Structure formats: structure tokens, C-alpha cells
């Protein structure tokens, strides 16, 4: 079990007593505090340390709490910061600005103050005369401005022309101190001295990194915690660093490009875009290892085995880039690479209620990418049929794992995919399940409606990122308020639903069908474009009204279309 130490400490004691120094590791994010955060810190400290300016009196027994710092002691004995780097850096910038301003003041109090600050910021020689080295090192590879921070500590000046946050915040503190020194010269030394002696941190120090990360994830409620991808980045960074400076530099630049691409492509619910990229890569490795267990490890647990040996390989980063490029082509709907029918299938699968189908596609692509659009279309339609079957008959991620995990491993082993052995239900069961599913309101309904919209051969490709909502053809308000349906529950049947552009859905949702027709067809006086959903345009062109009977007939039509699609791929028992 990891050793844990929690001890309240003043800024003065925490900084001065640290003999080995602080280290911001390479997997941390760059310094990100903005000026408004620095101003809040300044105002809070000024109010606490100088109550005399408000006709109060300073109580040396009172403390001002600055929050927790989560660290662990690494193999070199340095305090590696997991949480709190933003505050530590900002406090160091503030203290360095005070030290610069105090340089020309000869009084003994200010001289004592200056020595105290120096011992906070630097390792000193044994006589406390010469500053040897700064107490903070930063290895954050993605922070191009870290050299400016070290220059500020070294010289007391922000580099000319520097516009990064280190320089901006340091200049902010310089201006604040200059005004304060001019207005209240007799209190100049009291502000930083009281801040160092009475402002308290709660350092939480562990003996290993994993325990520190766990504590941080538990405590953190202010900003983004370190993601799995941040940890993986540090391992890859060290791997390329060992290869030489050119390899390291190329990796850092390419990682930045990869991160930007993933920000556009992936939007997971409870992870970062780069986390999702590694999840996709994890499923690829699982397939290669013939792993079909339903209890999926977390990504960090999966990769941390044997000291992250799975990541310390030449092929890892190029494979991550390959995954991102593939999904970028899909996102951009590149018709030079894929046919419209293939892109329509990708458009449907993007609406699945979970991202497991996209992991399946990634594995399929990495193992043996189809050479033709026909091969892609066959694979994607079979996958859509399987996902639809389970969405209706056994909704939920846990059930879908079985066919997709099995077939990922099968494809890795012998390049075959057979969903038919996972077809467990006959037509009667599917119909009964469909009737329950038809009246539900979950994300799987939208997935099925996307699929059904594309069953119209005239349906155009819906652009990636287009905001789409579920439209009730017979208005929900009209059904519930006006009592226009003998059975109000019919309003939630699939036959009364379609996908439609969100902006049109908002405007048309409460109208009667005869008025909705103008929105569907684009015949209103405002000359807005018609909906791009061909099925709605056909309905509006062929019907003057949409009744309860029409809802039931369209619901049955959707069911029969689904059943025929499942039969085409032998998924009806």
C-alpha cells in the first residue's frame, strides 16, 4: 500500500523546506491561468494580509487557505506535482515580482523579506548568499513557453515581446505591486511576508504516482483532471526522447497535430478525444490477442501492464495517426475515397447509442481494410443490421458487447465475420420487442430513424455535424392538449417520428400537419429551404393530413422494412 502524508504547511515552509525541488512532469498540461484568476488571487491575498487598509487589524494566528497540492516523490527524490502546478507557478511569479520590486529598498525588514523569497524560489548555498538553481523544474513537452518562465525567475524580467501566460501574468503582478508600493509604501513588506507566513497549503504526498493520480481524481472539482491520454503521452514522449532530439521534436509536433484532429473527430461523454483514440487502439490490441471477455479493462489498466510496454513500440504512434486519418476521411465524407452508399452507412452508425460499433470498424480497418466500396458496404450493412437487432431486442451496451467482441477477435484470427450465430430471436419476438421499442425515447430510436431515412433511395447524404432532431409528424402538443388522437400514446410510435434538421424541427414542432407541410416542402412565404429528409417531403407531397391511422400504417411499414433488412443478413431465427 502506498504511503500517504498530509500536512498543513505555509507557503514559506513548503517552499523553503523542499530541498530536492519541485518537478512538473512531462504529461502535465501547460500553464493556463488567465489574468482574471491572478487578479482574484491578488485581491484575496491583499484583503487577508492588509486588514489595516480597511481599518482592521491583522491577526497573526489566522490562516488563509489556498487549497491542496497532490504530489509524489519520484525515484530522484523530487516532488512531482500531480495537482497544484497552476497555483505553485502563480505564487512563484508573484513572489519573484515582489523580490524585484524590493531590490532597491535598504531597510532591514525588506532585506529579510528578500532573503526569505530567495530561499522559496532557489536552492541556496550553505551560507544563504548565492542562488544555485530554481526550485521548480518543468518538463511539460507541450509547453513551448516554459523557457520564459525560467527566464523570469532568473532575471526578474519577462522576455521582450513574450505574450504567453507566464509573461502576461508576471507583468500583471509587476503593475499591481508598483501601484501598491506607491500608494502604501509603509506596508510594502507586510503583504508578501504575511502571505508567505500565514497562507496555508495542504500538501498531500504519496510514495507512488498511481496513488497520487487516484487522490487527484477524487479531489479535483476545479479543472480537467489528468486524462489517460496525458499519462500515455508521457510514456510515448520518453520513448521518443530516448531516440534522440530530432525524434522527440518530431513526436511533439505530430502529437499536437493529432490532438487537434481528434478534438474535431471525437466527442466522448466522459473522456477526452485523445482518450477515445487510445480506446480504439486498445480494441485493436484486444482483437489481436483474441480477447473476448465482456469485462473490459479501463484503458489505463490495459496499457499499464509491464510498465506500459505495449506503448513502447515503434508501430504504436503511427497506428494512432492512421486511426485518426481514417476517421478524418469519414468525418469529411470524402467521396474520392468512399461511395455515397458507404458514407451513408457511416452516417447511420455515427448515431448508434454507444461508440462500440466505431471501435469494431476501427479494428476491421486496421486488420485488413476492404479494397472496394462493395466490400465496405457489405460489412457496414451487416454491422448496422446487428446493431439494430440488439437495439430492438436486447438494448444496452452489455448485450451488444457479445457479438461485436466475438467478431472482432474472429476477424483478427481468420478474417471472417459472422453475425448470424448471434441471431437469437424469431419474427414474433422481434415484433413484440419492436412494439416496446417503438414507444421509447432513447438514442437508439434516433439511430433507427436515421437508418430508415436512408432506406429512401432518393435520400441525400446528411453532412457531418448537421444538427438533427427527432420530429413528431403529428404534433405532440396537439395530441395531448387538444385530444386529437383517440389513443394519445400513438404520438410516440415510430410511425409518427422522423429525423429532421433541428432548426426546422424547432419552428415546425407544434403545428398541425397541414401547416407542417410548408416547412417540409419549403413553400412558406419566408422562402426557407425544404427539409433534406426525403421521406418527410414525400409525405408532405402525397398527403393533406396525417392521422392516427397513418401513424399506425407507417409504424408497420418501418417494422416490415426492418424485418426485411434483418432477413437479408440472416439475422431472424
In this predicted model, what pLDDT tens digit does every residue of 109-128 receive, in sequence order? Answer: 889 999 999 999 999 888 88
d(CA 512, CA 479): 10
Mean pLDDT of 143-152: 87
The grid cell for 433 is 420487442
Count Cβ neighbours within 10 Å for each residue of 7-33 and write b for 16 or more, e otherwise: eeebbbbbbbebeebbbbbbbbbbbeb
Choice between 297 and 383, residue whose per-residue pLDDT is larger: 383
pLDDT band at 571 (very low <50, low <70, confident <90, very high): very high
Q: What are phi and psi of 465, to 5 degrees?
A: 85, -5
Question: What number is the average pLDDT over the span 518-543?
Answer: 88
- How far apart (Å, rounded) are the C-alpha atoms in residues 377 and 281? 23
User: Does the pLDDT value for residue 419 go beyond 50?
Assistant: yes
Express each pLDDT in 454-480 by its tens digit. 999 999 999 999 999 999 999 988 877
pLDDT given at position 295? 62
Q: Helices (DSSP H) in 368-509: which residue ranges? A: 373-393, 397-414, 427-438, 443-453, 476-481, 502-508
Cβ atoms of 418 and 311 within 8 Å: the answer is: no
Rounded-to-integer distance, Cα 201 and Cα 102, Å: 25
pLDDT digits (tens, 9 = 90+) for 270-307: 788 999 999 999 999 999 998 877 666 788 889 988 88
Q: What is the pLDDT of residues 332-366, one digit of tens each?
A: 999 999 999 999 999 999 999 888 999 999 999 99
Report the half-sphere exposure of 178 (CA within 13 A, side-chain side): 6
What is the residue-averaged pLDDT of the chain? 89
Q: According to the model, what pLDDT value does residue 364 have?
A: 94
Question: What's the grid cell of residue 322?
Answer: 492512421
Please check the confidence at residue 369 and state whether its pLDDT lies above 90: no
pLDDT band at 217 (very low <50, low <70, confident <90, very high): low
Per the structure block, which three cell numbers stand in for 305?
501492464
Place of cell 505530430: 254
**CA-based angle 126:131:132, to the nearest 5?**
80
Angle ∠(364,370,376) on CA atoms, nearest 5: 85
End-to-end CA distance of the chain: 53
Residue 482 has pLDDT above 70, yes or no: no
Amino acid at each position: 500500500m502506498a504511503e500517504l502524508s498530509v500536512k498543513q504547511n505555509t507557503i514559506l515552509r513548503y517552499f523553503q523546506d523542499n530541498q530536492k525541488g519541485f518537478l512538473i512532469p512531462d504529461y502535465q498540461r501547460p500553464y493556463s491561468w488567465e489574468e482574471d484568476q491572478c487578479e482574484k488571487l491578488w485581491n484575496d491575498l491583499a484583503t487577508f494580509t492588509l486588514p489595516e487598509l480597511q481599518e482592521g487589524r491583522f491577526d497573526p494566528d489566522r490562516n488563509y487557505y489556498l487549497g491542496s497540492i497532490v504530489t509524489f516523490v519520484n525515484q530522484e527524490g523530487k516532488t512531482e506535482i500531480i495537482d497544484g502546478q497552476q497555483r505553485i507557478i502563480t505564487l512563484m511569479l508573484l513572489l519573484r515580482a515582489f523580490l524585484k520590486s524590493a531590490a532597491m529598498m535598504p531597510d532591514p525588514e525588506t532585506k529579510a523579506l528578500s532573503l526569505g523569497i530567495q530561499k522559496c524560489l532557489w536552492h541556496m548555498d550553505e551560507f544563504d548568499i548565492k542562488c544555485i538553481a530554481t526550485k521548480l523544474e518543468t518538463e511539460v513537452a507541450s509547453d513551448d513557453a516554459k523557457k520564459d518562465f525560467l527566464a523570469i525567475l532568473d532575471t526578474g524580467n519577462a522576455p521582450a515581446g513574450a505574450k504567453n501566460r507566464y509573461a502576461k501574468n508576471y507583468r500583471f503582478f509587476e503593475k499591481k505591486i508598483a501601484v501598491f508600493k506607491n500608494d502604501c509604501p509603509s506596508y510594502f513588506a507586510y503583504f508578501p511576508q504575511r502571505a508567505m507566513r500565514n497562507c496555508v497549503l495542504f500538501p498531500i504526498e504519496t510514495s507512488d504516482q498511481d496513488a497520487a493520480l487516484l487522490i487527484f481524481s477524487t479531489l479535483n472539482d476545479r479543472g480537467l483532471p489528468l486524462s489517460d491520454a496525458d499519462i500515455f503521452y508521457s510514456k510515448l514522449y520518453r520513448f521518443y526522447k530516448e531516440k534522440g532530439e530530432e525524434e522527440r521534436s518530431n513526436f511533439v509536433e505530430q502529437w499536437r497535430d493529432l490532438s487537434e484532429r481528434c478534438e474535431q473527430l471525437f466527442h466522448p461523454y466522459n473522456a477526452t478525444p485523445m482518450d477515445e483514440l487510445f480506446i480504439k487502439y486498445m480494441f485493436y490490441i484486444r482483437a489481436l490477442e483474441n480477447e473476448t471477455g465482456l469485462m473490459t479493462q479501463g484503458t489505463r489498466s490495459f496499457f499499464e501492464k509491464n510498465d506500459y510496454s505495449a506503448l513502447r513500440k515503434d508501430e504504436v504512434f503511427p497506428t494512432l495517426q492512421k486511426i485518426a486519418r481514417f476517421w478524418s476521411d469519414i468525418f469529411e465524407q470524402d467521396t474520392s475515397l468512399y461511395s455515397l452508399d458507404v458514407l451513408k452507412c457511416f452516417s447511420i452508425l455515427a448515431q448508434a447509442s454507444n461508440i462500440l460499433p466505431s471501435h469494431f470498424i476501427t479494428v476491421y480497418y486496421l486488420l485488413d481494410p476492404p479494397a472496394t466500396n462493395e466490400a465496405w458496404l457489405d460489412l457496414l450493412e451487416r454491422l448496422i443490421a446487428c446493431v439494430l437487432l440488439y437495439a430492438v431486442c436486447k438494448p444496452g451496451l452489455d448485450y451488444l458487447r457479445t457479438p461485436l467482441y466475438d467478431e472482432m477477435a474472429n476477424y483478427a484470427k481468420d478474417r471472417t465475420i459472422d453475425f448470424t450465430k448471434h441471431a437469437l430471436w424469431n419474427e414474433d419476438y422481434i415484433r413484440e420487442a419492436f412494439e416496446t421499442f417503438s414507444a421509447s425515447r432513447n438514442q437508439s430510436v434516433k439511430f433507427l430513424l436515421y437508418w430508415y431515412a436512408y432506406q429512401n433511395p432518393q435520400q441525400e447524404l446528411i453532412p457531418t455535424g448537421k444538427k438533427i432532431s427527432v420530429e413528431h409528424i403529428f404534433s405532440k402538443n396537439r395530441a395531448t392538449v387538444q385530444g386529437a388522437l383517440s389513443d394519445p400514446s400513438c404520438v410516440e410510435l415510430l410511425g409518427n417520428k422522423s429525423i429532421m434538421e433541428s432548426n426546422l424541427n424547432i419552428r415546425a414542432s407544434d403545428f398541425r400537419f397541414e401547416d407542417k407541410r410548408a416547412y417540409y416542402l419549403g413553400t412558406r412565404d419566408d422562402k426557407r429551404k425544404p427539409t433534406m429528409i426525403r421521406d418527410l417531403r414525400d409525405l408532405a407531397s402525397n398527403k393533406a393530413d396525417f392521422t392516427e391511422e397513418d401513424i399506425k400504417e407507417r409504424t408497420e411499414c418501418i417494422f416490415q422494412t426492418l424485418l426485411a433488412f434483418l432477413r437479408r443478413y440472416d439475422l431472424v431465427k
